[in-house]
Structure 1
């Protein structure tokens, strides 16, 4: 998917079919009062995104470079509040 199309809610309501067809090619952002409200995407893109939500990786799925990056990444200061869960 490439660039995003922004349309007002009024435009979207007047030409729903047009924007549904457009959503097959790129996301259509519907605005109301100048604010992004909803996004219409193709069913194919929706299902692709949902699959990614549920993707589970095992340690062996990561390269050594990935694991090194994880181990050396700086922790967010708020994460210290969970140290008690892994100390033993």
Structure 2
């Protein structure tokens, strides 16, 4: 996803235009050279919040799911990524 990056001063100076842009793509606001805030549309925020609700407790998994996870293997094309997690 494309994004715009501006300083806090730039955002304040062009609030209207950058607010309009934030409705189309995230606008990252930096402070002292570091990312500080992200302004985005309310629709994008709602979409991200809906994704949070997809999480569940492992204690709620069925025995079949637990067995499937325990017996799963990493496809060969992703083995290098698997080693990064260990």
TM-score interval for Structure 1 and Structure 2 normalised by the shorter chain: 0.5 to 0.7
Deviation at 1:56? 4.8
Q: Which runs of 4+ in 1 moved over 6 A?
A: 57-60
Do residues 9 (structure 1) and 8 (structure 2) align?
yes
Hey, what's the Cα distance between the residues in 2 that align with 1:33 and 1:24? Answer: 25
Query: Structure 2, unaligned stretches of length 5 or more?
Result: 74-81
Residue number in structure 2 paired with 1:30: 29
State the TM-score, normalized to the length of structure 1.
0.64
Render the CA deviation track for 1:6-36: whole Å, top value 9, x for unaligned.
Answer: 0000000111111110011110000011000
Alpha-carbon distance between aligned partners in 1 of 2:54 and 2:38, rounded to the nearest angstrom: 23
1:53 lines up with 2:52 in the alignment: yes
Counterparts of 1:36-47 in structure 2 under 5 Å?
36-47=35-46
Any idea what the Cα deviations from partners look like across 1:17-74, whole Å, max 9, x if unmatched?
11110011110000011000000010000000001101257869xxx9xx85x33257
Q: TM-score, normalised by structure 2?
A: 0.65
Count of paired positions? 69
3-state SS of 2:37 partner: strand
